[in-house]
Structure formats: structure tokens, C-alpha cells
Structure 1
Amino acid sequence: MNASQQKVVQYLNEALASEQALTRVLQSQIAMTPRGSYRSGLETHLGETRDHAARVGRRLDALGEGSNPLIAVVGFAENAIGQALALGKTPFDLLRGSGGEEKVLKNAKDACATEALEIATYTALERLARSVGDDQTATMAASIRADEEKMLGRIMREIPKLTEAVVGADVTGNGSYDVTTTGAADAVRDAGEATKNAARRTTSAAKRTARRARKVPGVARVEGQAKGAVASAGDLAIARYDSLTADEITDKLGELSQIDLAKVDSYERRNQNRTTVLSRIASLRGDEPWAGYDELTAAEVQTALSEGDDERAKQVRAYERTHKNRAGVIKAAEREHSNA
């Protein structure tokens, strides 16, 4: 491979890293955006972004240099990681602080910056490819750049409407953000419908469906947050919730799963919004030892521990001590750790 081809491959890998980061960003933004024209635009562009990544990957293959993560990291690490850290957060964590309307607006402004970066990336790639006589790469880059320019224009047209929503919520007190209509809530409803259908066939099938859904990292928290947004006190895992003091509630939080913690968090924010309760929830919310862990019985956890994974045993022991604190599970974890 000559020097000109090597440089084209470098730029293609940078473009691929950018598309992969943008895919994660769009998924996160869709998850917290209510139904409407802006979310429709994000969903359309997510499909385009996946197509862009596939096209860039095929071009790399044609040049004899398939997708090379190491080259991508060298050429584009700061931008890709920066995008992921700035925008690719768990969507309902972003709802803390200012209201949902303002978070959607801030995401839209960030999306403008992201699209501008994409446009610059493909402008540079097209010019480079033309300069070294690679017309196929140049044509592809120009086509993808046109999609990014179209998306930037669409977001800019949405900014005034999103700003008006912020004014309604934060100035006139007429909020419009509805967590039950977001992409995450829709996904939870879809999963719930699938579970209901499975339940009609057999109860065991329904349980397997629910557990499979919750084994996807992040789904448990999003499900709990969405349910908590519309829950009553009677729907919470802590009995007589509204009659308890903040201290009484915080004493019980350690027993809850990540789903139930998220439900309580959302309910508390809609009602008394007590700092002591919310701070304790924040300290407990975190990754399970593995996705779906909270759905398992003590016996099932002990079976998993018997596989002899020392790192897993340490994670289980630490998690159990701050959460359910099941003596049998902790002893099994300690035993596996000492035997490793």
C-alpha cells in the first residue's frame, strides 16, 4: 500500500470511528426524547448512520484494509471518546437537575456540534481522496456529507420549537415533557407487551422473556425509571412509602434491586424530592455484577459462582454487602474467592 492509500485508509478509519460513536449518541438521545418530529428525525438519522458505517467499512475492505480499531483509536480517539462521554450517558440520568424539556434542547445543541464534526470529517476525506485520485472514496464521502448537512439543517429547524418547550416548562409552568412517551418508555412497553404475549403461552416463558430483556445492560434502570414516572406509592417495593420518614426509607433502600431503586428515585422526585433519600439512592445505584443479576434467586447466584471466577466472586460480595446482603450469597462468594 502506497503513501496516498495509507492516508485515505487513515481518514476512512477516523470516519468509521465517528459513525460508531454517533450511533451510540443517537441511541441515547432517542431514549430520552418524546415522540414527535425531533425524535422521528433522530430515528431516521440513526438508520442513516448505521448505513454510513457499513459503507465506510466496505470501502476499507475494498482497499484491502478492513476496519482496524487500532488505527481508528490512533487517528480519532479523542473525538470519539469525547462524543461518547459528552452525549452517550444513560438517558434518564440526564433528567436529574433541570427539566426534561431543557435536557432535550441541550442534546439538540450538542447534536448540532456532532453533525458539524461529521461534515468536517467527510469534507476532509473527500478532498483528500480527490487529490490522490481515489474517486470512489471521494464520491462516497460527498454522499455521506450531504446526509449530515441535511440532518444539521433539520436539527436547526427544531431548535426554536424545543426552546419554546423550555419556556413553557421553566418560565410559564406549563411543562410538556412526558417521560412515558420517550424512546426508552416505548421500548419498555414493547418489552412488556412481548412478555404478556409469552405469559399467555406459559408462565415460565414469560419469566424467561423478562429476564432476557433485563440482561441487556441499562435496561433494568430505564425500565424502573419509566415505571416510577407513572407509579403510585402502592406500586413501590417499600410498603407504606408515603407514611415513612426519610430515615426509615433510606434504611430500606439497600434491599432493593436496581429496577426498584430507579422506580423509587423517579417517584420521590415527582413528590417530596428529599435530598437524603435521593442521595442514598444515588450511592446505591450502579452496575450489577452482571446484567440481570437482580433477577436471580440466591440459589441461582450461588450456581453462577460455582464456576470459579474470582473476579465475579469479588463483585458479587461487594454488591451484596451494600444491597440485599444475603448471607448465603456472601458466604458463597467468599468461599469461591478463597478457593481461586
Structure 2
Amino acid sequence: MVQNDELRGRLIEYVQNVHALEGNVLLMLDSVILTTGDEELREMFRVHKEESRRQQEKLRERLEALGGLGLASLGKNFSAIASAQAKGIFDVFRADKPVQNARDAFVTEHLEIASYEILERMALRAGDEETARVARENRAEEQAMAGRIAENWDRFVDLALVERSRRA
């Protein structure tokens, strides 16, 4: 599967990083779900949260298969959790939540898309077709979510305008 120790180590590091990113995304989605007033949009984010949970689990399985579950992996997860929690607290108090949530989610989806693209390429170089497959499948879900967000830009703006007029 993996051709040499250095390449295997790099692949493990990439999987750990994307696994930690998914942990951060799960916490961000909690904040987005909590602060999104529109039920249909909230459901869109709930569904994606379940996709993200499955994605993180597949990555954990790959880490286990590669022998990469350890202190470094835990440290990355704790760091991601701390930053996501701090952002989540801030998000509750900011103005124009619908637009800001959508923008942040859209940017995050593209960060994930890029991360999975890189992970797939590293896995292929390492000869790990299973990790490459997981990266491809997860990336496709991220691309679909980015598309769903993009389809709703006007709706997010309308919600922000309604929210602002209620406060005025």
C-alpha cells in the first residue's frame, strides 16, 4: 500500500489534518444550526452535519488502518475544537448571521474541497487507493454542499435584511 516510511508518514499527517478539520467543521455547523432562523436552511446544515460525521468516521478508520491514531492526532483535534468553540461563541453575537453563516460555510466547504483534493493526490502517490477513494467521496459531498449554499445566496441575504429590520 504505502511505498516508503517518509511517504507513509506524510500521508498519515494529511489524514490527521483533514480529520481535525472535520472536527472543527462539526462544531462550526453546531453554531450555524443554532443561529439559522430559517428551518429549511437549518435542515440543509443538519443534513450536512451528518455527512460530516460520516466523513470524519471514514477518516478515523483510515487513520486506524495506517497506524496514525495517536497523540499527534489527538492534539490536532483538541486544537481544532478550541478554535471552533471560540468562533461559535463569537457567532452568536454577530450581526447579519444568515449572510455571515453562509459565507463562512461556503469558505469552509472550499477549504475542505481543497484539503480532500490534496489528500487524494498524496494517497495516490503513496499507493493507498482506499484513502484516495475516501477523499474523492468526501470531496464530492463537500462540492455538493458548496453548491447548495450557492443556490441560496439570495435567500441568505433576504433573511439578513429581515433580521436587521426586526432589530431596527
**Could you list the per-position Cα deviations for residues 125-145 of structure 1 after superposition, in whole angstroms to 9, with x for gaps in the alignment?**
001111121111101100000
CA 1:19–1:169: 2 relative to 1, 3 Å = closer
- Which one-letter code corresponds to 2:157 in the other structure? T
Q: What do you get for the CA RMSD once the two structures are aligned?
A: 2.6
State TM-score, norm by structure 2.
0.85
How many residues are paired up? 164
Q: Which residue does 1:145 correspond to in 2? A: 139
**Aligned-residue offset at 1:157:** 1.2
Distance between the aligned counterparts of 1:50 and 1:143, measured in 2? 14
Are residues 1:133 and 2:127 paired?
Answer: yes
Distance between the aligned counterparts of 1:2 and 1:9, measured in 2? 10
Larger relative contact order (CA 8 Å, sep ≥ 6):
2
Q: What secondary structure sits across from 1:129 in the alignment?
A: helix
**Aligned-residue offset at 1:86:** 6.5
Q: Which residue does 1:10 correspond to in 2? A: 13
State TM-score, norm by structure 1.
0.44
1:237-276 superposed matches below 5 A: none
Higher helix share: 2
Distance between the aligned counterparts of 2:5 and 2:78, measured in 1? 22
- Name the % identity: 31
1:217-228 superposed matches below 5 A: none
**Could you list the per-position Cα deviations for residues 15-60 of structure 1 after superposition, in whole angstroms to 9, with x for gaps in the alignment?**
1100111111101110111243211110001101111111100111
Q: Which residue does 2:48 correspond to in 1? A: 45
Distance between the aligned counterparts of 1:82 and 1:153, measured in 2? 28
**5+ long unaligned stretches in structure 1:** 176-269, 271-340
**Could you list the per-position Cα deviations for residues 77-122 of structure 1 after superposition, in whole angstroms to 9, with x for gaps in the alignment?**
5xx368616742276x425xx3xxx212111101111111111111
Q: What secondary structure sits across from 1:12 in the alignment?
A: helix
Contact 2:25 2:52 in 1 (8 A): yes
- Which one-letter code corresponds to 2:114 in the other structure? A
Contact 1:14 1:72 in 2 (8 A): no
Are residues 1:114 and 2:108 paired?
Answer: yes
Aligned equivalent of 2:65, options 62, 65, 75: 62
- Which one-letter code corresponds to 2:18 in the other structure? A
Q: Which residue does 2:39 correspond to in 1? A: 36
Q: Which residue does 1:165 correspond to in 2? A: 159
Distance between the aligned counterparts of 1:34 and 1:90, measured in 2? 17
Distance between the aligned counterparts of 1:72 and 1:124, measured in 2? 21
**5+ long unaligned stretches in structure 2:** none
Q: Which residue does 2:29 correspond to in 1? A: 26
